[in-house]
Chain A
Amino acid sequence: DVKVTQSSRYLVKRTGEKVFLECVQDMDHENMFWYRQDPGLGLRLIYFSYDVKMKEKGDIPEGYSVSREKKERFSLILESASTNQTSMYLCASSISQGEAFFGQGTRLTVV
């Protein structure tokens, strides 16, 4: 079974903190994605990566950065967390044209 693991299920951080969300997949997938999910807005793509050290901006990259130093790991970084970044964050991975496999999600609250 493909497994996508996000490091935390719940996180509470203070405004201005630097926040790291980690995602690891075990199926050697080249593509990895970070989304945020908000009610009524669906899943919005923040960043995606198609290879080690390669990244592309999604629809809402502002306030976020990413890192992919190893193929299996894709990190989302909030340089200075703000309350409007309170959300559910979902990581996913896929092969080229295949279905995406999702992690369990991280519910981030910024206070």
Chain B
Amino acid sequence: AQKITQTQPGMFVQEKEAVTLDCTYDTSDQSYGLFWYKQPSSGEMIFLIYQGSYDEQNATEGRYSLNFQKARKSANLVISASQLGDSAMYFCAMSSYSGSARQLTFGSGTQLTVLP
């Protein structure tokens, strides 16, 4: 079974500093994808970044980067130069096969608060 673990229910960071949100995963598949989503208080789910299991380089999207360590099964999100608008819930997710279908499994989330 696929499982995503986010061990930080809440995190605080000072504006303009960098922050790392932890994510570990468990799967027996060789081919899978890892995602990070942001959910502000408005409730919408915003896609941030994607990493494929065969990608050798860590994914980056603007201020977001994914620190992918395959052997440790971790996919941490790094946000550089935090902004007040980064305050939100952040979810890690994994896409992998379950039978003949591709399942998308989420973690429990990390509530990030950026302090002025």
Contact = CB atoms under 8 A, between A and B. Distances in A.
Contacts of B45: 90, 92, 100, 102
A48 B96 CA distance: 13
Interface stretch (B12-20, B66-74, B77-85, B99-107): B99-107
A50 interface: yes
Contacts of A97: 33, 52, 95, 102
Nearest to A50: B101
- Where chain B touches its partner, the secondary structure class is strand
Interface residues of A, number: 28
B91 interface: yes
B104 A45 contact: yes
- Where chain A touches its partner, the secondary structure class is strand
B43 interface: yes
Interface of B: 6, 9, 33, 35, 43-45, 47, 50, 52, 91, 93, 95, 98-109
Interface of A: 31, 33, 35, 40-45, 48-50, 54, 56, 58-59, 88, 90, 92, 94, 96-97, 99-102, 104-105
